[in-house]
Amino acid sequence: MTGTAAAAGLGVPAGPRSILQRVDPRWYSASLLTAFLAIGQWRFQILGDDYWPWAVTLLVSIATELALGWLVTGRRVSILSAYISGNSVAILLKPAGALLWPFALCAFLSIASKYVLAWRGGHLWNPTNFGVCFVLAAAAPVTSILSHQWGNELSTVAVLWCLGGITVIRARVWHLTLTWLAAFVAFAALRAALLEGGRFLSELAPVTGPMYTMFMFFMVTDPKTIVRGKSLQVAFAVLVAGVECVIRLLAEWDVIGVDHPLALAPPMFALFLVGPPALALQRWLAPSRARAP
C-alpha cells in the first residue's frame, strides 16, 4: 500500500505533494495566463486603458461554454477552459481602433470549435488557436496579433518562463516545450544562413515575445489536441517548428506579403495546419490509444 493510500485508509490528511498531484493541470495554465495579463498590463499596457475587450472575451467564452455544454452533454460543464480561452484571446488579438466584435467572434469560435469540430472522442484544434487563426484570416484588414516584445528586461521574461515551466512540468508535457524550443533555435540558425544578411539573434528574437511564449508553454502543449506517445509528440513539435520556419521564409522571400495572415502569426498557423491532421490520423489508425488520457 502506498503512503497516499495508507493515509487515505487511516483517515490521515494527504500531504502537500498528494494535493498538488490532484490539482487539474488546467489550473496552472489559468494561473499562467492570469500572470501574463497582470504582468503585461502592468509593464506594457497590452490591454490599453480600456478593459472592455477583456470583459467581452470572458463573457462570450463563458456563455458559449455553458450554453453548448448544456446542449451537447445535458449538464453544466466547467468554465475553466472558457476562462483560459477568454484570457488568451484578450492577450493575443489586436483589432484596429476600438472594435469589439473581433473579440466576441474569436471567443465564440474558440469555444464552439470544441463541440463542432470534434471527431472520435475529442476536438481537433486547440480552441484559442482555431479562433485566433480564423479571425486573422477572415478579418485581416482590421485585425492583427499582439507583437509587442517583453522588452529587454530579463526579469520579466524569466518570471513568465518560470511560470510556464512549472505549468508544463506539472502537466507532464515539458518535453514538447523543450523540443519545440530546440527546433526553433535550429531553424533560426538555418534561416540566418539562408537569408541575405541574416543574423541569428534577429531570427531568434521573437521567441521572447508574448505570442511565442504563450505558444510554446500553452498551445503546442495542449494535452487535449496533441498526438499520444512521447516519441510522436517530439516529432510533432519538430514538424510544427519546421512549418513555422517555412512560413517565415515565405514572408522573407516575398512569396507572401508581410501583412499576410500567415506572416502575422507563423507559429499559430503552423499548429493550425499540422495539429488536426496529425491527431485525426492517429485517432483513425489507433482510436483506442488516441482516446487514452
Mean pLDDT score across all residues of the chain:
84
How does pLDDT run across 138-191, given as a tens digit for each residue? 998 899 888 765 555 677 778 888 888 888 888 889 999 999 999 999 999 999
Q: Give the N- to C-terminal CA distance of the chain in Å, as an integer.
A: 24
Question: Do the Cβ atoms of 35 and 160 come closer than 8 Å?
Answer: yes
Is residue 237, in this structure, part of any structural domain at all? yes
What per-residue confidence (pLDDT) applies to 7? 38
Query: Of 125, 145, 165, which residue sits at a domain end?
Result: 145
What per-residue confidence (pLDDT) applies to 149? 52
Domain that holds residue 90: 23-145
Q: Partners of 145 in the beta sheet?
A: 93
What per-residue confidence (pLDDT) applies to 140? 86
User: Distance (Å, rounded) from C-alpha 235 to C-alpha 224?
Assistant: 17
User: Distance (Å, rounded) from C-alpha 179 to C-alpha 187?
Assistant: 12
User: Distance (Å, rounded) from C-alpha 264 to C-alpha 117?
Assistant: 24
Tell me 207's DSSP state: G
Query: Quick one: cell of 187?
Result: 531553424
What per-residue confidence (pLDDT) applies to 31? 72
Torsion of CA 73, 67, 120, 117, to 10 degrees: 170
Rg (CA), the chain: 20
Nearest alpha-carbon partner for 266 in 174, 274, 71: 274
- 93 three-state secondary structure: strand
- 123 three-state secondary structure: strand
Is residue 254, in this structure, part of any structural domain at all? yes
Is residue 108, in this structure, part of any structural domain at all? yes
Same domain, 276 and 163: yes
Within 10 angstroms of residue 57's Cβ, the number of other Cβ atoms is 28
Query: Of 127, 145, 163, which residue sits at a domain end?
Result: 145
What per-residue confidence (pLDDT) applies to 223? 84
Same domain, 132 and 187: no
Query: Of 84, 110, 145, which residue sits at a domain end?
Result: 145
Same domain, 130 and 174: no
Spans of the chain below 50 pLDDT: 1-20, 290-293
Could you give the number of structural domains in the chain? 2
Is residue 77, in this structure, part of any structural domain at all? yes
What per-residue confidence (pLDDT) applies to 9? 41
Same domain, 134 and 183: no
What per-residue confidence (pLDDT) applies to 15? 47
Is residue 18, in this structure, part of any structural domain at all? no
Same domain, 274 and 165: yes
User: Distance (Å, rounded) from C-alpha 254 to C-alpha 252?
Assistant: 5
Question: Do the Cβ atoms of 215 and 160 come closer than 8 Å?
Answer: no
What per-residue confidence (pLDDT) applies to 97? 80
Q: Looking only at Cα atoms, what is the longest distance across the chain?
A: 69
Is residue 17, in this structure, part of any structural domain at all? no
